[in-house]
Amino acid sequence: MRGLRELVVLGALALGGLLALASLGDYGGENSGTALDGNAALNGCYTQSGGSQLNSYWFDGASRCSNQIWNSLTGSVSYGCSYQLSQGQLTLNFDDGSTQSFGVTAADNGINLDSTLYEYTGANCS
């Protein structure tokens, strides 16, 4: 009987872990429009596409980020950065010394950076 109980507990823990992993980066409709706070709120790759260009931001959930831009004419360019997210305000400090700031809110399938939708596309940008 003890073995069966341990198996049920382990199964429940494994299912809970899988559900938690599946929800990373998915803010759901109930949080849409909510200002995000804290670096951990951004984790993974968020991509805005339009026309012949893709613009992606990757966040590690702690402090490092990158911005990848791809277009059909020039190919792919990537810029390393660190980031700080506080009360809906995102500041990117690029490795070249430049900075960029955005207002950030949750969206049904990603984030809005200054009202532009960036869809969550996974843990890493490909």
What's the pLDDT at 33? 80
Give the domain CATH number at 63: 2.40.128.360
What's the pLDDT at 103? 97
What's the pLDDT at 31? 56
What's the pLDDT at 4? 39
DSSP state, residue 91: E
**How many independent structural domains does the chain possess?**
1
Q: Which residues of the chain have pLDDT under 70?
A: 1-32, 51
Measuring CA to CA, which residue among 53, 57, 56, 47 is closest to residue 73? 53
What's the pLDDT at 20? 35
Which amino acid, 28? G
Task: Please report which residue ranges of the chain form alpha helices under DSSP H.
Answer: 2-22
What's the pLDDT at 85? 97
Euclidean distance between CA atoms 12 and 125, whole angstroms: 31
Euclidean distance between CA atoms 39 and 89, whole angstroms: 11
What's the pLDDT at 119? 95
- The number of beta carbons lying within 10 Å of the beta carbon of residue 36 is 22
The boundaries of the domain holding residue 105 are: 2-122
Angle at 65 between CA 79 and CA 53, to 5 degrees: 50
- The number of beta carbons lying within 10 Å of the beta carbon of residue 24 is 12
